[in-house]
Each structure stands twice: as structure tokens, then as C-alpha cells.
Structure 1
Amino acid sequence: MTPTPLLCQIYKSPRQEEMFLYVDRTRGLEVVPQELLAGFGTPQSIMMMVMTPERTLARVDTEQVITALKEKGYYLQMPPGGDARSRDLAFDVSDHAADQAR
């Protein structure tokens, strides 16, 4: 069975160079947590793309993006460099991150 391709809208952050937000086009930005958008800034649309497992992306694993789009409706691509754990925690809006901050 061939997976159904996902139509993805890609936004760049006006605050952080090389930070991108991939959003399931059918679900839109309303699924993105407000806390994430506050740190990301007003999303600037840069392109629309059909996501398939065969597509190769420059710095992220396509399967991870597709899984995130199906489960959450979005995927945040952080800029390269720096400590990955620190960058991930800075944009983790889950209850787990809130518990660690307490």
C-alpha cells in the first residue's frame, strides 16, 4: 500500500535564521501551540511541498517530518549547530517541559 502524500506548508522564523516550521496544509497553523509561535515569531510562508517518504530534505529526516505532521500537524526544524538538547527544550511545549521548569 502506497502512503498518502501530505501537502505541507513551510514557514521560516523572522526571529531565528534557519528555523523552519512545517505544517500540514489541511490543518493549518491553528494546531501549532501558541507558546511555540510566540518563540518562533510571525510565520513567514516560503513554500508548499508534497511530502512523501521518497523525498529527501537537506537537514531533517523526511520520515520524522511526516510522522510529526500526521500526529501533531506540525514539525519544527531548528537551526544547525549548538546543543541540540537545549534547543529542543527551548521549544518543547509539552507538559513534560513545564514539569522540568518547576
Structure 2
Amino acid sequence: MHCDIYKFPKHDDMYIYIARPDYPDDTDEIKDWLGVLPKDFRAGLGRSKFVMHLDLGSTATLARVDKAEVLEKLNSQGYFVQLPPQDVMRRQAELRALESQDSIYD
């Protein structure tokens, strides 16, 4: 299974894998690969940045996620969301809370 990986500047350390089951035969026309994402979810992501193309068949393991889980999600829904580690998510939430408190006094 081939996939493309994207990141989103508004969401540190979150990556979205998009299935490319027909690669390389799916490159004849320009396509919105992120169109498989639910509209509400995609709208909250902001601008995407392409990270890399990956052939999961030739990749033994992935850094932060279980390869079998990624493959299952790519096959069933066409995408997989890799969330940041818990400590990063906690730090981001704390920073957002501080920013919202600071903006009260502006």
C-alpha cells in the first residue's frame, strides 16, 4: 500500500496518511487527495503541507504508530490520523489556555 503523508502547521506533530492504492497509475490527473477526509474535520486543519510519499509494503516499522493499524485504517476509510504524543498534546492545550487568558486582558 502506498500513501502520502501531510502535516498541518496549526497542529504540531499531527500527520495524516492518505491511501494511494492505485499508485503510480493514479497520477494522470490532478486530484484532491485530502478529499477523503470528513469536511468538518478537514476545515479545522488549515493549510496542508506535503511531507512524503511512503510505500508501506517496503517499510518494516513506523516511528510512532503501529503499521498494522495504519494499514487497516487506510484500507477501511482511506486515511489515518497520527496524533501527537500525549505530552505534546498536553503542552499545546496549556499554551492555548494561557493565550486565551492573556487575551481577556488585552
Q: TM-score range by the shorter chain?
A: 0.5 to 0.7
Normalising by structure 2, what TM-score?
0.65
Indicate the RMSD between aligned Cα atoms, in angstroms: 2.1
Q: Does residue 19 of structure 1 match 2:14? A: yes
Supply the AA of the counterpart residue of 1:44. Answer: K
3-state SS of paired residue (1:21): strand
8 A Cα contact 1:11 1:45, kept in partner? yes
Give the unaligned 5+ runs of structure 2: 23-32, 90-106
Which structure carries more helix by proportion? 2
Higher-Rg structure is 2
Paired residues in the alignment total: 78
Distance 2:84 2:44 in 1: 14
Give the unaligned 5+ runs of structure 1: 1-5, 85-102
Structure 1 consecutive aligned stretches of length 4 or more whose deviation exceeds 4 Å: none
Name which structure has the greater RCO, CA cutoff 8 Å, separation 6+.
2
Percent identity at matched positions? 36
Supply the AA of the counterpart residue of 1:37. Answer: R
What is the match of residue 74 of structure 2?
69
